[in-house]
Structure 1
């Protein structure tokens, strides 16, 4: 997710008379097991920069947890809001990331590209020795964590990108990206009534397709969690919190769609998913930063996120959640636990 979705350094996202267009040009370097990319997988060498507010970063936090990469890959967590320059590490003592020693993620981008012209985005890999960014290609980062970092996967790590299903997962992920993950942004940041209505219609037609798909299996690809579920969940868990009202995606709340809502609750209650979600960071980011849509910066009190803990009906389906030989991840490290005041999971003690 960019700090400036369309490179407007003032924090302006809406361009009058124009549809929303996400800049998809990222630093496409990769970190690979054999180092042929120029960057070799190495425990402790890289730091994953994220914000819990951002859906694109949320998926990398989930994958890192599910695969047990915490010891091999440290994580820098930026605060939920930012100014026109970049994400800041204001959650850390002194306002500096304790490993990279920087106040802003922008510093890591400029350390490698002094004249970097594009948006400063999370998630991003930073090379700790040099302090420079390696890549911010969010679509590739999770795939590489799953396929290139296998030496450092925990025992019992699930295969989130199984070879026999990769073509199907890739096809579904591409569709979900453009119609749902980005569909909410096209709706929220449309610059004209015509563009808004077109994006709104496409988004809801796409959610209806997913509602039907999830009437036949517990997860998107069948009985086990895959990369496809990781990519859809961050959008769904933010839907009633933000997108329904803030982005005017208001045909109906997600909680009125039985399959999508029970699926969202199911994943939220699954280790590695809900325990990565910071409800307050999510609301702070959208309502404070996106002043085009919310010039008063007033953050709504509701909705009550505790409904994500209500019973779901997804165990009616054939289930092998973690796949052959897979097991649930361990609880998050103490220093990575979401503030108990910001998530119903921690308050409930689950």
Structure 2
């Protein structure tokens, strides 16, 4: 029994040293970052070998799901989905029959981390990739995971799959994604998890300054890099789709809603209505995960009724760029 308790011990943001002495949120690094590929020491690229563990609330996990869908990798990489409400024992596979993942036979995500590395003391995060042959975690590098689906797994892409990471644009996309991560994707968390007014306002100001820049960028082109969807659009979308239903309220990022940015809002609707985006977006999981989970400070368990979700299916104006 003592060993079982050890297995499901979960680190908080403070335990994982994610709060600086100045009160800023500093996201933990990725512990399992071996790349997929055919080089020495790389993770072998094989169909059916890996299981992607996700939660509907999580933007980092969502972007891996979107890219998997866009590229047609559904039969190559299996998926296990945890409850959107993270428990004090970690992400829980309570959505599955019997409350355990049917492939890995685990109830809580930290169990598979402990099986892989008993010395690991950080948070067990989604997305996590598990090698089903060894029953061990092999990658939780959310920042690069979509790039592996786009490049290392190319031989498994469906016919006509989009080139989300074109070689001639990779340096530009990488540079853009780096800024997007720090100021927008993770910027909302920096605001929401800050422990001081100064660090909250610093993150808040950087976030909306970047959104203003992106609003202007999207006034002249349909997507972030022209007329085709790229990896950068996937990364921007997962923040946009969570913004008004979660971040605006829970993380106090309330200068504007996304629907208040005409170009960004029409761009977001365009993506939502594209197969792979809207059909993988679980608004119920997002709302419950942020409002009822440890983000929400919600002692009475009340989930906000709005905003109205049907507006995501209203017409957009992005065809004007064709």
Alignment counterpart, residue 142 of structure 1, candidates 146, 156, 166: 146
- What's the CA shift for 1:86? 1.5
Structure 2, unmatched stretches of 5+, are 1-9
Alignment size in residue pairs: 313
Residue 32 of structure 2 corresponds to 27
Q: Residues of 2 paired with 1:262 and 1:38: CA distance? A: 40
Match of 1:304 among 295, 298, 308: 308
Residue 246 (1) aligns with residue 250 (2): yes
Q: Give the 3 Å change call, closer, same or farther, for CA 303–14 of structure 1 in structure 2.
A: farther
TM-score between both structures, scaled by the size of structure 2:
0.93
Report the Cα offset of residue 36 of structure 1.
2.5
Cα deviation 1:185-224 (Å, max 9, x = unaligned): 1111111111111111111101001100100100000000
Match of 2:5 in 1: none
Q: Which deviations, in whole Å up to 9, do the C-alpha atoms of 1:281-323 show, x marking residues without a partner? A: 00111111125643443221111111111110001013xxxxx
Deviations 1:219-252 (A, max 9, x none): 0000000000011100000010011111111112
SS at 1:48's partner residue?
A: strand
Structure 2 residue corresponding to 1:115, chosen from 110, 119, 122? 119
Is the alpha carbon distance of 1:232 and 1:243 closer, same or farther for their aligned partners in structure 2, counting shifts above 3 Å?
same
Q: CA deviation at 1:4?
A: 5.8
8 A contact 1:18–1:192 mirrored in 2: yes
Q: CA deviation at 1:92?
A: 0.5
Indicate how the Cα distance of structure 1 residues 273 and 75 shifts in structure 2: closer, same or farther if over 3 A, else same.
same
Q: Which residues of 2 match residues 75-86 of structure 1 at below 5 A?
A: 75-86=79-90
1:85-127 CA-to-partner distances (Å, cap 9, x unmatched) read 2211111000111111111121221111012111100111101
Which blocks of at least 5 consecutive residues in structure 1 are unaligned?
319-350
* 2:320 counterpart residue number: 316
Contact 2:19 2:26 in 1 (8 A): no
Check the 8 A contact 2:22/2:196 in 1, yes or no.
yes
Would you say the 8 A contact 1:15–1:191 is kept in 2?
A: no
TM-score scaled by length of structure 1: 0.85
1:1-350 residue pairs with structure 2 within 5 A? 6-8=13-15, 18-32=23-37, 34=38, 36-290=40-294, 293-318=297-322
- Larger displacement relative to structure 2 (292-301 or 274-283): 292-301
Q: Is the 8 A contact 1:16 1:191 kept in 2?
A: no
- Local SS of the residue matching 1:308: helix
Q: Is the 8 A contact 1:5 1:23 kept in 2?
A: no
Cα displacement string for residues 137-194 of structure 1 (whole angstroms, at most 9, x for unaligned residues):
0111110110000111111111100001001000100000000001111111111111
Distance (Å, rounded) in 2 between the aligned partners of 1:63 and 1:107: 27
- Cα distance in 2, alignment partners of residues 214 and 203 from structure 1: 16
C-alpha contact 1:78 1:88 (8 A) present in aligned 2 = yes
Secondary structure of the equivalent of 2:284? helix
8 A contact 1:14–1:292 mirrored in 2: no
Query: Following TM superposition, where does structure 1 have runs of at least 4 consecutive aligned residues deviating by more than 3 angstroms?
Result: 12-17, 291-297
Aligned-residue CA RMSD in angstroms? 1.9
Instruction: Confirm or deny: 8 A CA contact 1:50 1:57 kept in the other structure.
Output: yes
